[in-house]
Chains A and B, each alone.
Chain A
Amino acid sequence: GQNIDQPTEMTATEGAIVQINCTYQTSGFNGLFWYQQHAGEAPTFLSYNVLDGLEEKGRFSSFLSRSKGYSYLLLKELQMKDSASYLCAVRSTGFQKLVFGTGTRLLVSP
């Protein structure tokens, strides 16, 4: 089976940097996705990693280490609108489904 762990909740201040970690266990890793989800809304795609290293996209970056089963999402220059849940999801070889973690609720305060 697959197991994905993320912290339940994090808080940060506007303008700061926050790192949200995700660890996973799966056989046949085939990609890790980060989604943002505001309360009552759909998950919105943020980033995708399949090879080791850092992917940067504006204020958001995501890192992957396949040997460690570890990823993080880095959010810079935090804004109030970044308050949301951040979902880590893993896809395994031979499967189409995404397996989601429980999500990390980020609260950005002024």
Chain B
Amino acid sequence: EPEVTQTPSHQVTQMGQEVILRCVPISNHLYFYWYRQILGQKVEFLVSFYNNEISEKSEIFDDQFSVERPDGSNFTLKIRSTKLEDSAMYFCASSETLADTQYFGPGTRLTVL
């Protein structure tokens, strides 16, 4: 069964450093998403991406964040200058159409020191 994959599984970085989290969505899916989950809290939406542009974003997704689809398979989330409060599990998800179920990847645990 096709699945969303994410790398790395765990990323440790120093405050102020840039990080890039990578995702490979399910191959025939057209909508891509990033969510995050701070430890012990609920899953929060960050951004959705369709047809090579951001289609929706939350207030969390400020100028420090960016997304890109650099090639036909990868979808990345960049945090330019990490803060301590960016420490969280970051989940990538994809769906075939807007109305379909979103399938989540295994996540990247980001730890900012």
Chain B residues with CB below 8 A from A31, complex form:
99
Chain A residues with CB below 8 A from B41, complex form:
102
Contact of A103 (CB < 8 Å), options: B42, B45, B107: B42
The answer for the CA separation of A25 and B42 in the assembled complex, in Å, is: 17
The answer on a CB contact under 8 Å between B101 and A33 is yes
**Beta-carbon nearest neighbor of B39 in chain A:** A40
The answer for the CA separation of A87 and B102 in the assembled complex, in Å, is: 13
Known contacts: A43-B104, A97-B56. The answer to whether A87 contacts B43 by CB under 8 A is yes
Interface string of B23-65 (1 = CB under 8 A from A): 0000000010101000001111100101000011010000000
The answer on a CB contact under 8 Å between A98 and B45 is yes
Tell me the A residues contacting B by CB distance below 8 Å: 31, 33, 35, 40-45, 48, 87, 89, 95-103
20 contacts between A and B (CB under 8 A): A31-B99, A41-B106, A42-B106, A43-B91, A43-B104, A45-B101, A45-B104, A87-B43, A95-B56, A96-B55, A96-B56, A97-B45, A97-B56, A97-B58, A98-B35, A100-B43, A100-B44, A101-B42, A102-B41, A103-B42
List 9 extra interface pairs beyond A87-B42, A100-B43, CB under 8 A. A33-B102, A35-B104, A41-B107, A97-B33, A97-B56, A97-B58, A98-B45, A101-B42, A102-B41
